[in-house]
Structure 1
Amino acid sequence: MSGTEKTTAHAEQAKGKAKETMGRTVGNERMTAEGRADQAKGNARHAKEDIKDAFRH
């Protein structure tokens, strides 16, 4: 996995987790949903890179 893609995936996951937690804290369902979506995007990016790595070796 390239370093920048890995970093981007982890950043999206962390951003999503923070946004979800903040949304739950203030009772904002939209922010909570956006946080979950950001986490899913980070997970998808990470999975894509894992698949690319599997075929590379």
Structure 2
Amino acid sequence: MANEHQTEGKGKDLGGKLKEEAGDLLGNDKMKREGQADQVEGKVQKGYGDAKEKLKD
């Protein structure tokens, strides 16, 4: 079962991908970079959740 960090991290990653694509389509470099940053943040948060879950086992 996924913990809140895994779920929120995955959501941030997916949201960041959408934001990056929107920025790319609109030619908005700032939005594209924000999307990339959101993806990194989401992956880090999900990684923390994965580690936390692994320690629980």
Scaled by the length of structure 2, the TM-score of the pair is 0.84
Structure 2: segments with no counterpart, 5+ residues:
none
2:47 alignment counterpart: 47
Structure 1: segments with no counterpart, 5+ residues:
none
**How many matched pairs?**
56
Are residues 1:18 and 2:18 paired? yes
Scaled by the length of structure 1, the TM-score of the pair is 0.84
Which runs of 4 or more aligned residues in structure 1 lie more than 6 Å from their structure 2 counterparts after TM superposition? none
Cα deviation for residue 15 of structure 1 reads: 0.9
